[in-house]
Every structure is written in structure tokens, then in C-alpha cells.
Structure 1
Amino acid sequence: MPRFNRKGVTKILFAETIASPAYLPTRVEITGATSLTKAIAAVDGFTLENQTIETPDLESKFTSKIEGDDQAADSSLTFYEDDTDDELEASLAKGTSGFIIILRKGDVPSSNSMDVYPVTVASKSSTITVDNEAAKWTAMFAITDTPALDAAVPAAT
């Protein structure tokens, strides 16, 4: 099985709108989305987790479980701060709603490797440190609905 490194392959975009109620962007919407990839220093969350329910019974010492509610993990993107341009920070201001589009295997049409998360920026904060590192800021996201996972990347036009 071939393996790959996400660096240089995975693309992360922010779209203000997606017309499809299933959160499946068109090629035009992907092309018009803001690319976040080059500015990203870290990605946390952007996963769907299940809150299983324990179902013990008197007949066994084993506690079985059943599937429960789905919930999105706490999610954030940490960006390198630009000392001359604040366009990205303005695009992801607190309260901004839109969609985080993750092309896990890159922009490969027909690949079932696109995840789309409907989000609202819950907070935005700069990281202030005296360590020897690049300046960064973090956007925390509230995932507002069930994401579209493993969707096909739309064909190029």
C-alpha cells in the first residue's frame, strides 16, 4: 500500500457559501474558496466522534456498548501571523460562518477524500510568546452541523 505525507498534498480551504444542502461544493465554489494551506502551522480536531452508550446487563461481567450520538471534536487551525497583511484574520473573524473544506489527498477530481465542515469561528486569538518561533494565531471553530465526509472531489472544468 503506497503511503504519503500530508505536507505538500492535503489542501484546506475556507468557503463563505456552499449552495448544496448536503455541503458538497461545486468546482466553482472550490476555486472561489480561500486557500488556507500555506498559512497553517497546526490542525486540531476536524473529526467526528461517537458518544457510545454503555449497556451492561445482569447476565455478564462484560459491559457492552451501543452506538450513541455523533459529535464533532473541538476543532482549530493555527496560522502563521503575517506582519503586513491581515486579510486572512479578517476573513476568519469571530462570528464568521462558512465551510472548512479539507482535500485530504489533494485536489484530485473523483477522489472520495473531501471533507466539508460547516463552521462558525468561535474565537480568534494571537499566541504571544518569547520563544524562538514564528508568530502565530489560532481560530477555534464550532462545527454547526453534520459534516460531509469522504465526498468526491468535483471534476475540474
Structure 2
Amino acid sequence: MRFNRKGVTKIKFLPTIASAALLPTRAEITAGTDLTDGINAIDGWNIENQPIETPDMASTFVSKIDGDDSAADSSLTFYEDNTLDEIETDLAKGTSGYMCIFSKGDVPAGKGLDVFPVKVASNSKSYSTDNEAAKITVQFVITDRPALNQTVPAAT
């Protein structure tokens, strides 16, 4: 069934995940920070392949094989709060952890949990004279291969 990600997808930042397979426990998810409500824009958060051209003398067609994988440049843009500074402190430059994207919601035993090991590369306020809400953009580097389409852990 088709659905709209807005209102369904949840995004949480977890400071730690013990599992080498990057499958968080329910306790680790609960200890994380739910960022969903403050997000204005999302960019990246996928894997890209760098295909390798393999021309040969037998054909004028240049075939390709799959090459190295890399993570797309990834960021989250948040609405800035005029009294709290959670985004500035919880996601300060240099902070490491795990971005968990529950693409189909945080539904125990559901599919669609993507876990990205990350480090905050920058945390920058946006300044504008336009008639718009104040925003902060946090750029992340993905530090290792993410675990994609995992099963959401059951509630304990």
C-alpha cells in the first residue's frame, strides 16, 4: 500500500549501539533522541555506486560493472528553537553516533529500519531576511557501511 513518509517516518539519533550488526535494542532506541518533529528538510541518506567502465575491442558499446559503494552527502535541516539549544549541543560538530531512520514508522517487528553510523561534520545556523522560520543545517559524514532495511526491535 502506498503511503506518505510525512507523519509515518521517524528519525532518531542514538549515541550508542552495542551490536556489531548495527541492530539497536529497544533500550538503545528509547535512550536516543527523537528528531522527527523538528526536521524541515532531509538530504542524502542513501548509498551510491561508482560504476566502472569496461570497454573492449569486440564492441563499440561500453559496458559497466558495479564498483565501490559510498554514502551520499547527508544532512538534516532543523527548525531553530529560540529558547532551547538541543540541536546545537546534542548534534555539535564532532559528535558521533547512529542515525536511525524508521522509514515505515517505529513499529515493532516492522521492516524499514536503516541505521547509519555518523559523525557530525558541521552544525550551522542559516541566516536570512526572508519571511521564514529560523533553521539550522547539520551535515553528517557516514563513517561505515550502514545497515539497511532491518527489522525494528520488539518492545520490551
TM-score class, shorter: over 0.9
Return the alpha-carbon distance in structure 2 between the equivalents of residues 109 and 51 of structure 1.
35
- 1:3 maps to what in 2? 2
Moved over 3 A (4+): none
Equivalents in 1 of 2:105, 2:87: separation in Å?
A: 21
Q: How high is the sequence identity, in percent, across the aligned residues?
A: 65
- What letter corresponds to residue 31 of structure 1 in structure 2? T
Shift of 1:22: 1.3
Q: After superposition, where does 1:65-144 map in structure 2 within 5 Å?
A: 65-144=64-143
2:30 counterpart residue number: 31
Residue of structure 2 in register with 1:40 after alignment: 39
How far apart are the structure 1 equivalents of 2:63 and 2:155?
A: 47
How much does 1:23 deviate?
1.0
2:145 — aligned with what?
146
Deviations 1:14-34 (A, max 9, x none): 001000111110011111110
Aligned CA RMSD, in angstroms, stands at 0.7
Q: What is the one-letter code of the residue matched to 1:102?
A: I
How far did 1:88 drift?
2.4
Provide TM-score, normalisation by structure 2.
Answer: 0.98
Secondary structure of residue in 1 paired with 2:30: helix
Q: Secondary structure at the match of 1:9?
A: coil
Q: How many residues align?
A: 156
Partner Cα distance (1:136, 1:96) in 2: 19
Q: Deviations over 1:77-136 (max 9, x none)?
A: 000000000022200000000000000000111222000000000011000001111000
What do the CA deviations read for 1:30-74 (whole angstroms, capped 9, x no partner)? Answer: 111100000000000000011110001111111111010000000
- Provide the secondary structure at the position in 2 that maps to 1:68: strand
- Partners of 1:108 and 1:63 in 2: how far apart? 45
Q: Which runs of 5+ in 1 are unaligned?
A: none
**Structure 1: which amino acid aligns with 2:110?**
S
Distance 2:44 2:148 in 1: 14
- Aligned residue identity for 2:120: V
